[in-house]
Structure 1
Amino acid sequence: MMHQKLRVGVLGCGPISQAAHFESCTKASNAELYAICDSADDLRQRMTAMWAPKVAYSDYQAMLDDENVDAIIIATTDAFHVQLAMKALHAGKHVLCEKPLGITVEECEELAQAVRHSGRLFQVAHMKRFDGGIQAAHDFIQQEMGNLVAYKGWYGDNSHRYTVTDAVQPKIITSAAKRKPAVDPKSDLQRYYMLAHGSHLVDTARYLAGDINEVEARFTHRGGVHCWFVDIAFANGTLGHLDLSVGVRMDWHEGFQIYGENGSILGKTYNPWLFKSSEVDIFHENGAFWRRPLAADGHFYRRQVEAFAHAILTDSPQTGTSVEEGLAIVKTMAAIGESVRTGRSVCVASAQGAV
């Protein structure tokens, strides 16, 4: 237990803050929920009563001007991420920004440049990197697997997911006064699902198998299911395939299968709101045995905040998704979209425009 704690200000009192960030900041061993900010008076007052931060703000700049706030968690809608992160960096704050980093390659490139000049720590909130099972897979790959041969990853958000979240999440409080982007994000579900779910699928693939050089994607929307099949070429020569399917008629279906020189990995990941670590089975060729790490602590959002705080308080390297990796994820998603439109393979490094 650290005696010094990172004083966090959470921007946005919407669903992700209510379901994850507020609790994470109050449970973290090395951070505290110092401030919250939301322009909707009714929502901010309700969350203040529930979570008891030291201070609550209706104006974002006022929270940024508070010298006691060390870091900002940006928990707003995707379209606002970059501009609000820029303001936090200019105010000298460290930033944990909800995924995706942004919605266009160009704005993310601008943000990455600002981070490089800021001297502040910036982390994208891909909380699956703090799933103990996925971390165990990563460690085996780095330390024992040898050359990777193939990576298959899938993410199937199911048709009954709201039955699950209604049962396990706290009741989400909404406000008619909430700030909305100019365009409803859900007016284009193909783009919305790629940003919301594809960002997780790509980040896990990059975390486990490395940088992605090229993608070739196909897309269909049939029977109420949005489905992308993506062949990928990793920079290290590994072959890859990603399956993003939203609305699958079954249980939540997420995981990965990895073949390597000295073993293989089979991973099953659960609906995140069950706070259950992935079940990861690792086969060791040397000795011919399977093992499954316990990974008992399934609160990846709290572990994410603790890792973010630890890196800042101890001046240690960050273990979460960096801004450069966040940019690479957005470029990969943009490349997938271009491949779907053109029917050709696309180099990730050359991808531009909106996801």
Structure 2
Amino acid sequence: MPKKLERRLRVGVLGAGQIAQAAHFESCTKAANADLYAICDVADDLRERMAITHAAEKTYKNYDKMLADPDLDAVIIATADAFHVPASVRALQAGKHVLCEKPVGLTVEECLELKAVIEKSGKIFQVGHMKRFDAGLQAAKAFIRDEIGDLIALKAWYCDSTHRYPMTDAVQPLIVTSASARKPSSNPKADLRRYYMLAHGCHLIDTARYFAGDIVSVQARLAERAGIWCWFIDVEFASGTLGHLDLTVQVRMDWHEGFQIYGQNGSILGKTYNPWYYKTSEVDIFREADGATHRVLGADGHFYRRQLEGFARTILDSMPMEGADINDGLASVQTMVAIAQSVQSGKPVALADVTGGM
């Protein structure tokens, strides 16, 4: 891991649950330009155990008390989805920068309300679409920006596997739970169609937007059979690029994620791994000019740590934001809502027309 720099962002993590334990605590301790300054969670047993394990400088049971700490620079929101917007608003109003887990919100309206708070605060707000910090995807993005010319078509797929839990259990740290943990008022997994779209669909949508730009409308079909949820989504990009997305949950095979891009001066074929392997995507970039294929190695595949370091660079060094901002997060939610409405109506749905949630 890179050595710690002299100037570092002091980060407080809200929530000591699975995503914090599997990703954010370690990212703070390993980041070159950030430190795990504080942990906040209502569960006393969980909070104190995580503080000892990861050597946090301070702990808080009360979120507002952590936000009142003048030495705290920024907050990572690592809670359940339902708490993302309220927790982000409180942090911004307290004068803290925010890195919020995806999806940024559950409805279009609350995302718009959050956007207004961000603009008023003048603080940095980044959405946790950590795949933007995959070196393979970054190489593909650079080729699209600098060399590919007209982008003709994009196909992307995200297929979660029935075998993913034995795989992730083998590589993730043992996740510690607490009976005192705060939970949303309703069980997020009670509606699996909604849950899978929020958990996985937002990754697929953000990857498509990262490469091909703004989405104007979608037309989606959904099959729910044999314990498989399969969305096929035709996408209209503002650029005129043709798009097709495949979101399938519980395929009977290995994790299957990737993309294929056709352009004027070349093509790109990408294979993305289960994120908990911290393995950079294998992305083959073919240049028509020399008839050769190039693949970046990307030895550093710790996407979550790289995401935090990019967030810290934006704050400490006034660097342009490398990750997803509130407009990206809003567009992701709008697209998910449009997909749900298209499935119901059987017709194309324009993002500009969507309201509410899924």
Return the TM-score normalized by structure 2.
0.98
| Structure-to-structure mapping, 1:1-355, within 5 angstroms | 2-355=5-358
Q: Secondary structure at the match of 2:321?
A: coil
Shift of 1:2: 3.2
SS of residue matched to 1:282: strand
Q: Deviations over 1:91-149 (max 9, x none)?
A: 00000000000011100010011111110000000000000000000000000000000
Unpaired stretches in structure 1, ≥5 consecutive residues: none
Q: Distance in 2 between matches of 1:5 and 1:230?
A: 42
How far residue 49 of structure 1 moved from its aligned partner, in angstroms, is 1.2
Q: CA deviation at 1:45?
A: 1.1
Runs of 4 or more, structure 1, over 4 Å off, are: none
Cα distance in 2 for residues equivalent to 1:171 and 1:124 = 26
What is the deviation of 1:14?
0.2
CA distance in 1, matches of 2:299, 2:183: 38
Percent sequence identity over aligned pairs: 62
SS at match of 2:16: coil
1:267-319 alpha-carbon deviations (Å, 9 max, x no partner): 00000000000000010000111111111110000000000000100112111
Letter in 1 for 2:70: E
> Which digits, 9 at most, give the CA deviation of each residue in 1:230-269, with x for residues without a partner?
0001000000000000000000000000000000000000
Aligned length: 355
Q: SS of the counterpart of 1:321?
A: coil
1:350 Cα deviation from its structure 2 partner: 1.4
Give CA-to-partner distance per residue, 1:179-226, whole Å, 9 cap, x none.
111110000000000000000000000001111001000001111111
Q: How far apart, in 1, do the equivalents of 2:43 and 2:327 lie?
A: 33
Q: In 1, Cα distance between the equivalents of 2:187 and 2:89? A: 23
Q: Name the TM-score, length of structure 1 as normaliser.
A: 0.99
1:86 positional shift: 0.3
Unaligned runs of 5+ in 2: none
| SS class of match (1:352) | coil
Q: Give the AA of the match of 1:231.
A: D
CA distance in 2, matches of 1:161, 1:106: 34
